Amino acid sequence: MTATFEQLLKAQALGLGFDLAGIATLGPVATHDHFAHWLAQGYHGEMDYLQRGADLRADTTRPEPGMQSALVVALDYGGKQPDGPVARYARGDDYHRLMWDRLDALLTWARSQQGEALRGRAYVDTGPILERDLARRAGLGWVGKNTMLINPRVGSFFFLGALFLELDLEPDAPFSEEHCGSCTRCLDACPTQAFTAPRVMDARRCISYLTIESRSEIPAEFHAALAEHLYGCDICQDVCPWNVKFAQELREPAFAARAFLESKSAQALAAEILAMDEASYRDAFRGSAMKRAKLSGLQRNARTVLDAQRRS
């Protein structure tokens, strides 16, 4: 039996190193009302870009008119490494460029099959797309109570990306069930009580938001919870039974922790960051996702970590 284009496309994605691949038809987004209500509650905090692109996120055909289908992919960044002051996803190289390059390679292959005029666009966490909804529709998993997409074979320690194509492709069956059951470990474990309900997170209380996205000083009420968290947080993923059982070993060399971050306590790393100037910061974090917080943000986080240590 001759393989279909859809089968070959997904096989190419896996061959390039992606861990999951599925196809979804673009169109109205089922969870957009939930997203709009979340914005109305102010749970997005200072992330104003989410508000600006809200209308585009209502329908996946809007960001790039003419696109009909999306190949949605996941790239695992390993959940078996020990926890530490930096979230696992940010310890190595920035994932955006790596995933864009692989998605662009997929587009080149698709053009070799469908013609050079084929239009396509790669998205990796930077466009007005509700990626988890699209990934669920492509059959990659369900949205857990901690708001993370969970796959029953690999857990949730992975990045999502999508290649939009001007092709009417046969979609995969959407993931229609959720397998969290009565478990509330992620909700119970959050040290700042960031979850107002299952699948509803107040970002303004989330350690990842406070240490990465926010540009303001971190409120004193959260300092104790940040004692061991200098950049990001993995707690709600670490306690998830699907990760306890199925999280993967790190396989992508680009995501291995850079030597500067390896085996350091939050306090030791905080002291080093506070001693940095702009030049040493750029040298230490060249190509790192941690540059999103800028030196000013990292030093704010470092002060918070050391303040929590003093008060403990």
**The amino acid at 297:** G
Q: Which of 125, 168, 188, 283 is catalytic?
A: 125
Sign of the torsion angle spanned by Cα atoms 258, 259, 262, 267 = negative
| 168 tagged catalytic | no
Cβ-based neighbours of 129, under 8 Å, separated by 6 or more: 57, 60, 63, 123, 162
Using only C-alpha atoms, the chain has a radius of gyration, in whole angstroms, of: 20
DSSP per residue, 232-290: ---HHHHT-HHHHHHPPPP--GGGSPPGGGTT--HHHHHHHHHT--HHHHHHHTTTBGG
Q: Output b/e per residue, 170-183; b: 16+ Cβ within 10 A.
A: ebbebbeeeebeeb
- Going from the C-alpha of 246 to that of each of 56, 152, 184, 240, 272, the distances in angstroms are 35, 8, 18, 10, 35
What does the CA dihedral 133, 136, 141, 143 come to, rounded to 10 degrees? 30
The label of the residue with tokens 């004193």 reads 220
Backbone angles phi, psi at 74, to 5 degrees: -130, 140
Q: Does residue 57 contact residue 104 with C-beta atoms inside 8 Å? A: no
Q: Which of 119, 89, 92 is nearest to 107 (CA)?
A: 119
Positive or negative, the CA dihedral 225, 79, 146, 293 is positive
Cα–Cα–Cα angle for 153, 16, 111, nearest 5°? 120
Q: Which residues pair with 75 in a beta bridge?
A: 159
Positions marked catalytic:
125
